[in-house]
Amino acid sequence: MSDFYDVLGVSRDASPEEIKRAYRKLARKLHPDVTSDPDAGDRFKEVSQAYETLSNPEKRAQYDRGGGQAGAAGFGQGFGFSDIMDAFFGGGGAGGGRGGGPASRTQRGQDALLRVDIDLSEAVFGGERTVQVETAVVCPTCQGSCCRPGTQPETCDICHGAGSVQRVVRSLLGQVMTAQPCPTCRGFGTVLPAPCLECSGEGRIRARRPLNVRIPAGVDTGTRIQLASQGEVGTAGGPPGDLYIEIRERQHPIFTRVGDDLHCTLEVPMTAAALGASMPLETLDGVDEIDVRGGAQPGETIVLRDRGVQHLRSAGRGDLVVTLDVRVPRDLDDEQVELLRRLAEIRGEVRPDAKLSPAHQGMFAKLRDRLSGR
């Protein structure tokens, strides 16, 4: 019969950590799945048996007193699957095994998402909004304890608070002891003798609550605002997750948003476009005066600086781009028709020459033509 200390290559006064390190080193070397040595299997079983005995304080004491081998060859009773994981990966096995401990009922809550519709003016200037949030909150009856008032969790009789139970399975390597979450307490190590009736033992309920939300200037459809710790409360009164407010901007009846610029169309009478005029324009900032130059053409644009949307991540605002729509009068009376005919005669436009231009001429092409005098 081999001496277990010699098998592991450690002294008789070796510490538990030294025994564990020696076993890991030998197991990685002798495991049948990683070596082709035909004698490795027998040696691996011997090393496993030595470690099973010397890693258990009671069995080690019995062995030191001359009690002989404390287990059969191979993986003896008490040799867990986590020991194999320790040998090859330096960590424990499945949750609930050695060193894992029972799971906590208290868990962080999930993040929540709420969509909020806003007007264009709120996107331009920002503002505040009170919204109704339906989410999980701490149970007011048990205050997150999950138990009825006057009761508390009790240690599980099956796993004795470990949160896991062990069972022996047979494999090609012998008997392996695995750890699984306790089916009685579901891995928590405790059971609820009298779960709270209001929350059914979860420590939280769903409820609606008002929440003040600050809308930053410059937000757009799809922008998400993160509100830390305003999401769902976790089980057993665990810390809440975050709440994300997703912005959806309503369409404005007058202004169209393009990035941080606003666009609109201003109807200009033909005479005002020909002679020039100063016209009032109702903007989001109030009434502005628009100077239409004489001879203004349909489709021309006038840019009002800093009348657009506030930049979300920098100072300043976008622009307001006003496109002129020159309106040709209809239903002229006889006097107006005569005046226009006289104007046409003066300008030599009674029978004007037709002038063709490319279809869908763009703004830059029109500007080029005006600058060149065409």
The domain total for the chain is 3
The mean per-residue pLDDT over the stretch 125-136 comes to: 94
Do 116 and 234 belong together in one domain? Answer: yes
Instruction: Classify 269 as helix, strand or coil.
Output: strand
Q: Clarify whether residues 246 and 261 are in a common domain.
A: no
Asked whether residue 10 is assigned to any structural domain, the reply reads yes
DSSP state of 355: -
**Could you tell me the CATH number of the domain that includes residue 327?**
2.60.260.20
Both 228 and 115 in one domain: the answer is yes
d(CA 117, CA 198): 34
Instruction: Based on the fold, state whether residues 179 and 278 are members of the same structural domain.
Output: no
Instruction: Output the known binding site.
Output: 139, 142, 156, 159, 182, 185, 196, 199
Nearest to 310 by CA among 262, 264, 263, 260: 260
Q: What is the C-alpha separation between 228 and 1, in angstroms, rounded?
A: 65
Residue 83: inside a domain, yes or no?
yes
Q: Which two tokens stand for residue 218?
A: 């410059």
Q: Does residue 233 have a pLDDT over 80?
A: yes
Residue 368: give the domain boundaries. Answer: 256-372
Asked if residue 359 belongs to a domain, the reply is yes
Q: Where residue 50 falls among pLDDT bands split at 50, 70, 90? A: confident
pLDDT at 209 over 80: yes
pTM above 0.85, yes or no: no
357 shares its domain with 294: yes
Q: Where are the beta strands (DSSP E) in 74-173?
A: 112-118, 127-138, 154-155, 164-171
- Shared domain for 232 and 122, answered yes or no, is yes
The predicted model gives 200-221 an average pLDDT of 95
The enclosing H or E element of 346 equals helix 334-346
Residue 94 lies inside a defined structural domain of this protein: no
Residue 350 within a domain? yes
The string of pLDDT tens digits covering residues 247-278 is 999 999 999 999 999 999 999 999 999 999 99
The tokens 């100077």 sit on which residue? 291
> Does 365 map to a domain?
yes
Is residue 109 domain-shared with residue 197, that is, in the same domain?
yes
Decide which of 89, 116, 139 is a domain's last residue.
Answer: 89
Query: Cα(270)–Cα(325) distance, rounded to whole angstroms?
Result: 9
**Residue 234 and residue 122 share a domain:** yes
Comparing 87-91, 103-107, 133-137, 332-336, which segment has the lowest mean pLDDT?
87-91
Residue ranges at the known binding site for Zn(2+): 139, 142, 156, 159, 182, 185, 196, 199
